[in-house]
A and B are shown apart, each in its own frame.
Chain A
Amino acid sequence: MPTSPSEPYDLAVIGAGPAGLAAAVTAAELGLRCALLDAGARPGGQYYRHPAPGLGAAHPERLHHGWSVFAALSDRLAASGVDHLAGHHVWTAEQGEVWRLHATLGPEAADRAVVRARSVLLATGAYERQLPFPGWTLPGVVTAGGAQAMLKAGLVLPGRRIVVAGSGPLLLAAASSLVTAGAAVPAVVEATDYLGYARGARTLATNPAKLLEGANHGAALLRHGVRLRRSSAVVEAHGTDRVTGVTVARLDRDWRPVPGTERRIDCDALAVGHGLLPQIELATELGAETRVTPDGTVALKVDPGQRTSLPGLWAAGETCGVGGADLAVVEGELAARVIAGAPVPAALRRRRERRRAFAELMAAAHRPGPGWTDWLRPDTDVCRCEEVPAARIREAVDELGAGDARTVKLLTRAGMGWCQGRMCGPAVACLAGDPNPRADSRPLACPVPLSQLADPT
Chain B
Amino acid sequence: MRRTPAALAGAEPGPAHTIEFDGREIPALPGQTIAAALWAEGILAWRTTRVGGCPRGAFCGIGVCFDCLATVNGRPNQRTCLLPAQPGDTVATQEGHGRADLAV
A associates with B: yes
Which residues of A are interface residues toward B (Cβ below 8 A)? 39, 41, 46, 51-60, 62-63, 107, 127-128, 137-143, 145-151, 153-159, 180-182, 241-242, 384-387, 417-419, 422-423
Assess whether A58 is in contact with B64, with CB atoms less than 8 Å apart. no
Q: How close is A300's CB to chain B, nearest CB, in angstroms? A: 18
- Name 9 interchain pairs, CB-CB below 8 A, sorted by A: A55-B31, A56-B12, A58-B12, A62-B10, A139-B44, A150-B81, A155-B29, A155-B36, A423-B64
B67 within 8 A of A: yes
Residues of A within 8 A of B67 (CB): 384
In the assembled complex, which residues on chain A have CB atoms less than 8 Å from the CB atom of B11? 51, 55-58, 155
* Interchain CA distance A386-B97 in the complex, whole Å: 11
Interface residues of B in 34-63 (CB under 8 A from A): 35-37, 39-40, 44-45, 49-52, 54-63
Q: Which of B45, B59, B77 has the most CB of A within 10 A?
A: B59
Q: Smallest Cβ distance from B67 to chain A, in angstroms?
A: 6
Taking a contact as CB atoms under 8 Å apart, the answer to whether B54 and A137 are in contact is yes
| Nearest CB of chain B from residue A431's CB, rounded to whole Å | 19
With a CB–CB cut-off of 8 A, which chain B residues contact A154? Answer: 32-33, 35-37, 39-40
B37 partner residues in chain A, CB cutoff 8 A: 154
Q: State the majority secondary structure of interface residues on B.
A: loop
Residues from chain A with Cβ under 8 Å of B52 in the complex:
387
When the two chains form their complex, are residues B32 and A55 in contact, meaning their CB atoms are under 8 A apart? yes
Residue on A with the closest CB to B64? Answer: A127
Q: Give CA–CA (A127, B65) in the complex, Å.
A: 10
State whether B10 touches A158 (Cβ < 8 A).
no
Instruction: Find out whether the CB atom of A182 lies under 8 angstroms from the CB atom of B8.
Output: yes
Give the size range of B's interface with the partner.
35 or more
Q: Are B60 and A146 in contact (CB under 8 A)?
A: yes
Q: Are A51 and B9 in contact (CB under 8 A)?
A: yes
A22 to chain B, nearest CB (A): 21
Query: Is B23 positioned at the interface, with any CB of A under 8 Å from its CB?
Result: no
* B24 on interface, CB distance cutoff 8 Å: no
User: B3 CB to closest chain A CB, in angstroms?
Assistant: 3
The 10 closest A-B pairs by CB, nearest first: A52-B31, A54-B30, A154-B36, A146-B61, A182-B3, A418-B66, A54-B31, A58-B10, A59-B10, A139-B44
Kindly report which residue of chain A lies nearest to residue B97, judged by CB atoms: A418
* Chain B residues whose CB sits within 8 angstroms of the CB of A39 once the complex forms: 63, 82
Contact status A180-B54, CB under 8 Å: no
Contacts of B58 in A (CB 8 A): 142, 146, 150, 158
CB A71 to nearest CB in B, in angstroms, measures 15
Q: Any chain A CB within 8 A of the CB of B27?
A: no
B13 touches A181 (CB 8 A): no
In the complex, the answer to whether A242 meets B45 with C-beta atoms within 8 Å is: yes
Bound together, the chains give a CA A258 to CA B61 distance in angstroms of 32
Known contacts A182-B2, A418-B66; A142/B59 CB under 8 A: yes
Bound Cα distance A54, B86 (Å): 12
Q: Which of chain A's residues have a CB closer than 8 A to the CB of B2?
A: 182
CB pair B65–A419 under 8 Å, yes or no, is: yes
Q: Which of B6, B7, B36, B60 contacts A145 (CB 8 A)?
A: B60
Q: List chain A residues, Cβ under 8 A from B63.
A: 39
Residues in B neighbouring A143, C-beta threshold 8 A: 59-61, 65
Measured CB to CB, the nearest residue on chain B to A149 is B61
A128-B60, A156-B5 known; A422 vs B10 contact (CB < 8 Å):
no
In-complex Cβ contact of B13 among A56, A140, A422 (8 A): A56
State whether the Cβ of B69 lies closer than 8 Å to any Cβ in chain A.
Answer: yes
B60 close to A155 (CB less than 8 A): no
- Report if A146-B62 is in contact (Cβ < 8 Å); known contacts: A52-B31, A54-B31, A384-B67: yes
Among B32, B49, B65: residue with most chain A CB under 10 A: B65
Contact B61 A150 (CB under 8 A): yes
Contact between B84 and A41, CB atoms less than 8 A apart: yes
User: A127-B60, A137-B54 are known contacts. Are A181 and B5 too (CB-CB below 8 A)?
Assistant: yes
With contacts A155-B9, A182-B3 taken as known, whether A107 is within 8 angstroms of B75 at the C-beta atoms is yes
Specify which of A57, A157, A386 lies most central, judged by the most chain B CB atoms within 10 Å of its CB: A57
A52 x B84 contact (CB < 8 A): yes
| Known pairs A143-B61, A146-B62, A419-B65; A153 contacts B14 (CB<8 A) | no
Complex-state Cα separation, A148 to B81, whole angstroms: 13
Identify B8's interface contact among A127, A158, A180, A422, CB under 8 A: A180
